Amino acid sequence: MSWGTKIVASVALMLLAALIALIFEGADRVIQARIQRRLGPPLSQPFYDLVKLFAKESLLPSDALPWLFSGGPVFAAASALTIFLYIPIGSLPPVLAGGGDFLLALFLMFLSSFALILGALAGASPYGEIDAKKELDLIASCSVPLSVIASSLAWFAYRQGLPGAPFSLETFVAKPVWSVAGWSGIMGLIILAAAFLSLIPALADRVQRNIFGGSSRHFSGRTLLLSRLARNFRTLAFCSVFVSLFFPGSMGRFLDLRELALFSVDFLFFWVKVFLVQTVAVTWGGAFLGRFKNSRLSSFYGVAVTGVALAGLLLLFLDARL
């Protein structure tokens, strides 16, 4: 692929991902409203919000560091969107195939979170300081189980001889990891998938923690719009990575399709899977789980989810040994 094609494909994919993120956000709100026996907003509400916030003035606090306060949300949204360039969408290879792996995707996700935290901190508000501390607390507690999951999967892929680089998402898409696991391996993979699923709301900033509004309350107008978009893009990116790692199955091959039909069906099937994952991890979780205390949330991810991830690793280890 030439550089020109790569740039065009990258822009097209990022625009498509942004569109899908907004549609999924609308669907998420509609489903949550139905669960809560409310009428709820229409599916197109995120688009109305986008237009409204885009037209509004962005207020800059007097003591703020302007470039960081305004640039943080931009950087957060951009880095979250960049993740899609490294994810294989259905049967299509990543736009930047070979340019990055699972670890780079995780790095970009953390970068997106940190950019938003830095933006909130640059507002020079004491509330921003508190919110930033909470965010950092949560990200730190989530990073431990996430690294256990990532290294477990990579080690298992390498050990079982999956073709390709162990940390590459293409490796997991080319041959599903389930196909090389025995019974204890399958159990281990289920546990790791559950642990990863539980991490999605926290890392995508979709878990309810603060009645005051969280870090996005410091922004207004376009910066608020971008901070919200960054959150939506991160959610979609996490769900996409989850699908690539654990459910890379191809519907096109199952239906014995060829070329364009195969790519089209798998492309659509991929987004359906992402939607289902988002519905389970974010929508249902948001509807039925309450607002957490920050300390309890950190200990939940830092201790309980890490423990579960280690149990998954142990089962994978047993499977590889046996």
Partner 1 sequence: MDVLTLPLNPSGSLEPLAITVSLDGDRIVDARIRHGALHRGIEEMALHWNLFQVLPLAERICGFCSLSNALTFARAVETIAGIVVPPRARYLRTLFLELERISSHFLWLATACHIAGHEALMMAVLSLRERVLDMLEGLTGKRSNCGVAAFGGTRVNLDDADIKALEEMIAFYRRELPPLQEVLVEGPLLRFRLQGVGVLPKEVAVRHGVVGPVARASGLYVDLRWSSPYEAYGDFDVQPRQVSDLMGRSRGDAFDRMVLRIMELRQSLEIIETLLQGIPGGNVLAVKKDRRLAALLRDAEGRALVSVEGPRGESLQRVTLCRGKIALSSWTLRSATYVNASSWPLLLRGEELSDVALIINSTDPCIACTERLFPLRPSPVPEMAPLRLSSAEDGEAAKEVAP
Smallest separation (angstroms) from partner 1 to the CB of 186: 29
Q: Can you read off the two tokens belonging to residue 16?
A: 């498509």
Q: 190 or 287, CB closer to partner 1?
A: 287
Q: How far apart are CA 280 and CA 273, in angstroms?
A: 11
Smallest separation (angstroms) from partner 1 to the CB of 289: 7
Asked if 111 and 117 touch (Cβ cutoff 8 Å), the reply is: no
DSSP 255-291: TT--HHHHHHHHHHHHHHHHHHHHIIIIIIHHHHS-P
Q: 7 or 140, CB closer to partner 1?
A: 140
Q: Which of 158, 154, 112 has the alpha carbon at shortest distance from 135?
A: 112
To the nearest 10°, report the CA torsion of 64, 67, 69, 73.
180
Smallest separation (angstroms) from partner 1 to the CB of 284: 10
| Length of the chain as a residue count | 322
Asked if 29 and 41 touch (Cβ cutoff 8 Å), the reply is: yes
* Chain residues in the site for partner 1 (CB under 8 A): 32, 35-38, 126-127, 129-130, 133-134, 208-212, 287-295
Smallest separation (angstroms) from partner 1 to the CB of 291: 3
Q: 25 or 319, CB closer to partner 1?
A: 25
Q: 65 or 130, CB closer to partner 1?
A: 130
Strand-pairing partners, residue 89, are: 92
Q: Which of 134, 140, 100 has the alpha carbon at shortest distance from 117?
A: 134
Q: 127 or 155, CB closer to partner 1?
A: 127
The string over 272-289, giving b where at least 16 C-beta atoms fall within 10 Å of a residue's C-beta and e elsewhere, is ebbbebbbebbbebbeee
CB atoms within 10 A of CB 91: 21
Smallest separation (angstroms) from partner 1 to the CB of 25: 17
Smallest separation (angstroms) from partner 1 to the CB of 283: 12
Q: 52 or 133, CB closer to partner 1?
A: 133
